[in-house]
Structure 1
Amino acid sequence: MRNKFLLFFLILSSSALQAQFSTLEQRLFELPDVLFKAIDAPDGFEAAYELHIKQPIDHENPEKGYFYQRAYLSHRSFEAPMVLATEGYMRPSNRMYELTGYLNANQVDVEHRYFGTSSPDSLDYTYLNLKQVTADLHHIRTLLGQLYTQPWVSTGISKGGQTTIFYRYFYPDDVAASVPYVAPLNLELTDDRIYEFLANVGTEECRKGIRDVQMRVLKNREELLPLLRWHAKGAGMEFTYLSLEEAFEYAVLEYPFSFWQLGHDCEAIPGKTAGLETLLEHFVKVVGLDFYSDASMFGYASHYWQAGDEMGYYGFQTKPFKGLLKEITEEEPTAIFMPGKAPMKFDPAFVKSVYNWTQREADEMIYIYGAIDTWTATGVPVSDKVDAKWFVMEGKDHGSARIRNMSEAERAELLQTLEQWMNASKH
């Protein structure tokens, strides 16, 4: 008799799941502007779909044309909350965010406008601005909000975290809470707060070791450049936007930024007695030369446009290397490489208005930073004028500042706060 009841329960459960799949696909089919295809569901989810959502190139003038934006929907239940993941770059496959697991939520992960397949046929960068980017997200929120009526939370990492902040700025009522990770909010084309951070992070001994690597690499350029040419050739890198020599010098200047951003070990810095091959191996590990190759310039073109147009970025101080740089002649060169070497039209007024909003009005925000991550230098500062929380994680970098690496008390505080905000949004 017990086996009969178990069989009956399994049949009912299977029928319920099939009905839910059928209902979900039917409702997706009925949504305007949405194309979809089933993909493998992540563990713990009932179904998943790759979506292509029709978006106007210009949300204020739809007659100018459209493109299809790629997103990934992972479905648990219509009764579960929704995590909206705001990517900063392309998203070629479904990616699960840790917040989705902690909230036992559904998830929609949205590729950024003008990245990956989410681009118009003709890349007119006039329409790559944050007003258009966040209008894309709002359109998706409006469409899928017809299916998912429980609280929504937005989240993103790094440039995706910036997108989370800007999305909440333009559409404060779209979500119950926002959780940007390791998200800078740069206030200048080359934000000086980066220099102050690099001058003080870590120990004096480690900072000296970093500077010694830079000096030694530059002083031994004649021996190292031929090795780098062979390395680049073997890896299939091409250098026409920058020459290999320019890429080499930019990589030297980038070295401390990258070292702290990615949390490299001070003990692994080669000493003065280490051979040049050991030095070069370490240097390339910390700052990949491919970051300055043509493939990277093409892949990150839209990112650089946004930095030079609206979002600001960082630069490099060259005075310590006077006489050692042969290709870079500017006193404070930028780390922005505009597509087609277009001029930068950055105006700080917009980002400063967003900054002021974070300090005075941006409630229900949780900011997560790593204390040794270079990008924390331009993170959103703590403000007691808003209902928000900051978690600056000691010893954590750009890749390790995550909820899963928090103490149990910190994690409980974060999740309890989110639950309170999500419950409040229901009323």
Structure 2
Amino acid sequence: MRAAFYTLGCKVNQYETQILEQIFYDNGFDIVSPDTAADVFVINSCTVTSSGDKKTRQALRRFKRANPQAVAALTGCFPQAFPDAAEKIPEADVITGSYNRASLLTNIQKYLATGERVIDITAHERGEKFESMKASKFLDRTRAFIKIQDGCDRYCSYCIIPMARGPVRSKPLAELEEELAGLAKSGYKEVVLVGINLPSYGKETGGKLRLIDAIELACAVNGIERVRLGSLEPELLTDDDIARMAAQPKFCPQFHLSLQSGCDATLKRMNRHYTGAEYKEIVQKLRAAFDNAAMTTDIVVGFPGETDEEFAQCIQFAKDVGFAKVHVFPYSVREGTRAATMPNQVTKAVKEVRCAALSREMEEVRRAFLQTQVGKTEQVLFETTETALGTEGYTKNYIPVRVLADTDIRGQLHNVKLVSVSGDCCIGKLAD
């Protein structure tokens, strides 16, 4: 039988889909593209925004029209957070949540045997354990993502994730070490540690286990040449964390520090746990500790109550920080959150104008950062991608670089002299 997987959302979702693909493959399924005919279609959903829910419904409808006799399974954050809404989607034959993913195959087999719809959503509980998962291969990738943390207890006013993902829980170090060793044996040179709220790693242990412990473990694995982190809540990084990360030669100095807004009044309404001044202080500490560190972030535009003045403060703040890259999103009303019922909702038209304005400003900031890289010699890990400008790879601080080479350098690490900027990347010449 053939199984197709379609993933919406974050790197954690992508990792979990990879685990599901492995489970199905190990049980005799051929894994095919979601755009081709399949006997089973699994959509791993995201529910951060209502548009994610819409994309989930559209994907299920498309698949069922093309494969009316096949099994369509819905899993992930959407049914976990909104089980009643998920149950009303007629195209979904099997519905499970974001917990106990290992049961998905069993539920699909049950549907195939009985023809009866299966709804199996396990509720999150206080004190639940990290669901054991181990990836061994990522198709067409040079780097491997490893989920080491799940759950969130921050309760930002716009976010449904605590409902969808449950309490904070962490992958035990022994399991992480085993997974890392397997990936190194498979030839992966870079690993990216990801989580729903990554700096909360080990919080449930009362401080006995922390994110820096996982970082140091990963850096100590033979064969792993680079260790990178996913998105970080900035205020959870301590001085000790920064010092110990800086002591690791394999650690990549690219920090995706979730900002959301550069205006203190907006941050307060968002129930973020830092001020602009505190955020800048953390950036300064990171830049002092790491040579050529890159700061990237997300900014939400048009949050309820955001005035023209607050938006202007946000733009200026982002320019002052000098991010390497900024992902700009319009605020999306998310049912079930406090922000959904806040007064002074910003109109769609205003959000579109502000998104465009901030994106233009941040493109200039991005180009300025790329120009600072010209003349440097950086280590680049080359990907499988071939472009008209050469083979593409990434520096340790995650700058895309393209190089013309006489031999196949994909999957290899090389020192590269960065000589110019072209669009959103740097052009380099092999220097080793």
TM-score, reference length from structure 2? 0.28
Higher normalized contact order (CA 8 Å, seq sep 6+, divided by chain length): 1
Bigger Cα Rg: 1
**Structure having the larger proportion of residues in strand:** 2
